Amino acid sequence: MSSGSEYKASSDEDQEDEDSEEEILKKPKKQLSGIRKRRWTPKETKVFAEIFKENINKKTMPNKTVMNKASRIITTRTISQIRTRINNVILGKQTL
């Protein structure tokens, strides 16, 4: 008889594990605080193309100095966003 109660206890634990997995799947995904994807505006794209024309034509990534200068000019974008955009343009994933 004690083996039956042990079996029942382990099945209860299994049920709890299943519930917590379901709860995890139902939880909404966390959003980064205040950061949202948005399209590059035509003005941002124009300035971007002017700054990085040489790098895009040569298909090379700009150095850190150029990236910092660009981030001061395109104040609405982070260095990471600018770097990603350059990379995507060079690889042909995005167009200007």
pLDDT digits (tens, 9 = 90+) for 27-84: 555 555 666 788 999 999 999 999 999 999 999 999 999 999 999 999 999 999 999 9
- Name the token pair of 76: 């609405």
Give dist(CA 5, CA 25) in Å, integer.
Answer: 31
If DSSP codes are grouped into helix, strand and coil, which group holds residue 59?
Answer: coil
- Residue that wins the pLDDT comparison between 96 and 13: 96
- Name the token pair of 59: 């298909």
Closest CA to 90 of 61, 70, 65, 49: 61
For residues 1-14, average pLDDT: 54
The amino acid that residue 85 corresponds to is: R
Residue 18: pLDDT over 80: no
